[in-house]
Chain A
């Protein structure tokens, strides 16, 4: 079992829909990260969280430390949001980044 699990693996949405991507982890963590990767592109850090909630534009990230769960929400989704969204945690004995397998999001116009 992976230490960081994401769901869903693939997600197709219509433009304007509200999107939620989930991340669960099984190790103790010091921080959780949401990353975005466009096809063939580099990796961009969207959020780093250790508690509570953060918002940036149409993106919202929340974390529940007790439940070991985080969600990434996208409001009013747009085709340019189409990308792979990766959850990663600084966790385990060495505190290095442990990655989820990613969620492939496609937003159709």
Chain B
């Protein structure tokens, strides 16, 4: 397995634009997590899914953020409209039975 695959690796966008981050979890894993990492706040859980169903989105900062998991092999995190304070590294991770985690390489988002 190629591990958790995230795209793009880097994204630079202008304030106000829509940004879509993508994640392909490890095949067979039933949990998928989106995390955000900043210097100020460290790693924070944004949302997680179990069997494609969103379970806890309490970490999503605002209505500008939305996440979907249309099937077991794909998830998106969308920010619309983006703001400079959204600049961070966004990690996706997957897990089997919420036991152990495999992280993707992250997407470094810069909003100018």
Contacts and interface: CB of A to CB of B under 8 A. Distances in A.
A94 B56 contact: yes
> Chain A interface secondary structure, helix, strand, loop or mixed?
strand
B49 interface: no
A42 B106 contact: yes
B61 interface: no
Of the candidates A42, A48, A99, A100, the one having the most CB atoms from chain B within 10 angstroms of its own CB is: A42
Interface residues of B, number: 18
B45 A97 contact: yes
Interface residues of A, number: 20
Contacts of B91: 42-43
Contacts, number: 38
A13 B103 CA distance: 28
A96 interface: yes
Given A45-B101, A86-B43, A96 B106 contact: no
Contacts of A102: 42
A5 B42 CA distance: 12
Nearest to B103: A43
Contact of A45 (B44, B103, B106): B103
Interface string B72-102: 0000000000000000000101000011111
B22 to A, nearest CB: 16
Contacts of B42: 86, 99-102
A8 B83 CA distance: 33
Contacts of B102: 45
B105 interface: yes
Contacts of A48: 99-100
A74 B79 CA distance: 40
A42 B103 contact: yes
B25 interface: no
Contacts of B43: 86, 88, 99
Interface of B: 33, 42-45, 48, 56, 91, 93, 98-106
